[in-house]
């Protein structure tokens, strides 16, 4: 029989076994939980791996598809980047030749940049321009016919000659070509199939904001230098190339004065005409005002019978013989030996006066009747009557002298600020000039100064105060400017 000590020992031993068994059970449960947790993580990782693997396979297929059809995009602002003169003059045949030369030139550039890959790269060309307006400008320069849209045969042949070449009419709306070019650039600049964008619009600083975010990306963008390349584009750290066989380095001839033609080497600054050019005198574009128009007819174009032909008067002639502003002109009217009214000499204001005028008029349109005529009887006049600088007054006078007074040389009103004779340099009295033939031929030597006679019906025209409802209102300088601009 076991003693008490043995029984106690057995009891203790049994307790130990029970505790060890309990601990073993707990350890087994913990191990099982860890195993299930590890198995769950494994299943999730496996699922993620399968999804990633599937995504990578899709990406590889997409990448292989993109590499299958590589191309280069050529974007051209056709209103400022012009083809060589001999190509434009050749009309439809010139369009075919221009497309071939452009294709060959771009292939050479791609060969330098992409090496052996250039042979697999197709070329897509998009040229945007206002064909109607550009045709008129080219016609004045003698590069195409005088008919409307005379550039169309060239553009159509250019488009037909290559599968991916398009010469597109962006319409006559302001900034039409700019909008198209911007959207095309944004669409393809991050496209992997597009290996290079050749940008030909560096005459216009408006594209700087488009290209600045891509500064230094020489592997994606190349600038094409043509006429009037703006120096601001050199700061983009992008390669600049020329295509001398395709694009001309000269701009279309344009006017810098009323009816006075000079060969222009720069395009017209649109921002200056709005009064917002931030470059001022340092601007590389031409600063001309909106009322300085292209001549519709050359001097040797027969528009009238031989009996109507007359010798055009130059600006120096008016400066020499017309009376000047002075004591005699204060409250008096100059007449010639035939009793015809003649105006005082009104020269073309300098550029800084035009800039000052546009800055002022942009804030609030000025009232002609008040500032030029001395008074405005309209108590509800919408135009500005506040004091103005003499420079602005000079510009207002010059603008209004370009428009015919309804009474002509018989006018005797000292408050009349319209023109009674034509002072345009070299004007022959043909359209679009509104002055009569006599206004170009009369004797401009003053022989007498008369006391004015004011008329009750000072201006037999509309008193409308809005340029939208009256384009003949002499109280609205901008309406005259817009009318002349439309007529060109």
In terms of C-beta density within 10 A (0-12 exposed, 13-18 middle, 19 or more buried), how is residue 202 classed?
buried
Q: Which residues pair with 448 in a beta bridge?
A: 335
Report d(CA 162, CA 123) in Å as an integer.
9
- DSSP bridge partners of 125: 74, 165
What are the Cα distances from residue 460, in Å, to 342, 433, 476? 21, 20, 15
Contacts of 483 (CB under 8 A, 6+ apart): 471
Burial group, residue 265, by CB count within 10 angstroms (0-12, 13-18, 19+): middle
472 close to 434: Cβ distance less than 8 angstroms = no
Residue position matching structure tokens 């009318």 = 483
Q: Which residue has the tokens 């998009």?
A: 126
Element (H, E) at 26: helix 4-68
Contacts of 395 (CB under 8 A, 6+ apart): 349, 353, 354, 356, 357
Per-residue pLDDT of the chain (488 residues), as tens digits, is 677 787 888 888 888 888 888 888 889 999 999 999 999 999 999 998 988 888 888 777 666 655 678 999 999 999 889 999 999 999 999 999 999 999 999 999 998 888 878 888 999 999 999 999 899 888 888 888 888 889 999 999 999 999 999 999 998 776 778 889 999 999 999 898 999 999 999 988 889 999 999 999 999 999 999 888 888 899 999 999 999 999 988 766 443 333 333 344 456 777 766 666 666 655 667 766 544 444 333 333 333 333 334 567 777 888 888 888 876 667 788 888 888 898 888 888 888 888 888 888 888 888 988 888 888 888 888 898 888 888 888 888 888 888 888 888 888 888 888 998 888 877 877 777 888 877 888 888 888 888 777 644 444 333 333 332 333 344 444 444 434 433 33
Return the domain boundaries, the chain.
Answer: 71-242, 311-453
Contact between 117 and 195 (Cβ < 8 Å)? yes
pTM: 0.45
């Amino acid at each position: 029989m076991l003693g008490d000590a043995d029984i106690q020992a057995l009891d203790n031993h049994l307790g130990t076994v029970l505790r060890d068994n309990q601990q073993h059970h707990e350890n087994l449960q913990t191990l099982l939980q860890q195993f299930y947790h590890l198995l769950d993580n494994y299943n999730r990782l496996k699922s993620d791996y399968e999804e990633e693997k599937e995504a990578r396979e899709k990406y590889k297929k997409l990448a292989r598809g993109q590499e299958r059809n590589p191309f280069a995009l050529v974007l051209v602002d056709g209103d400022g980047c012009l083809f060589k003169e001999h190509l434009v003059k050749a009309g439809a045949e010139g369009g075919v030749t221009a497309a071939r030369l452009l294709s060959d030139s771009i292939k050479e550039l791609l060969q330098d940049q992409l090496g052996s890959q250039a042979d697999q790269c197709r070329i897509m060309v998009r040229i945007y321009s206002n064909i109607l307006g550009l045709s008129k400008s080219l016609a004045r320069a003698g590069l195409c016919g005088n008919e409307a849209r005379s550039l169309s045969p060239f553009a159509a042949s250019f488009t037909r000659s290559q599968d991916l070449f398009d010469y597109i009419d962006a319409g006559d709306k302001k900034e039409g070509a700019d909008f198209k070019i911007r959207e095309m650039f944004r669409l393809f600049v991050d496209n992997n199939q597009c290996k290079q964008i050749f940008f030909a619009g560096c005459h216009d600083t408006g594209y700087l904001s488009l290209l600045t975010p891509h500064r230094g990306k020489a592997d994606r963008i190349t600038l094409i230098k043509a006429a009037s390349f703006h120096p601001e584009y050199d700061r983009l750290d992008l390669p600049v190339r020329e295509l001398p066989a395709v694009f001309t380095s000269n701009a279309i001839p344009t006017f810098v004065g009323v009816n006075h033609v000079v060969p222009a080497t720069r395009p017209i600054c649109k921002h200056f005409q709005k009064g917002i050019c931030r470059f001022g005198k340092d601007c590389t574009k031409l600063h001309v005002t909106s009322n300085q128009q292209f001549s519709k007819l050359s001097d040797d174009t027969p528009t009238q019978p031989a009996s109507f032909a007359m010798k055009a008067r130059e600006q120096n002639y008016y400066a020499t013989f017309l009376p000047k502003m002075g004591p005699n002109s204060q409250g008096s009217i100059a007449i010639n030996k035939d009793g015809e009214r003649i105006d005082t000499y009104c020269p073309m204001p300098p550029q800084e006066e035009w800039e000052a005028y546009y800055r002022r008029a942009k804030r609030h349109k000025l009232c002609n009747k008040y500032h030029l005529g001395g008074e405005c009887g309209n108590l509800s006049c919408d135009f500005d009557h506040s004091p103005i600088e003499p420079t602005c007054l000079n510009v207002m006078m010059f603008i209004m002298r370009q428009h015919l007074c309804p009474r002509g040389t018989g006018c005797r009103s000292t408050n009349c600020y319209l023109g009674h004779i034509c002072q345009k340099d070299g004007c022959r009295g043909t359209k679009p000039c509104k002055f009569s033939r006599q206004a170009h031929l009369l004797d401009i030597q003053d022989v007498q100064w008369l006391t004015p006679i004011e008329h009750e019906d000072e201006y037999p025209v509309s008193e409308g105060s809005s340029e939208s409802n009256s384009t003949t209102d002499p109280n609205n300088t901008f309406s005259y400017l817009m009318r002349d601009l439309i007529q060109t």
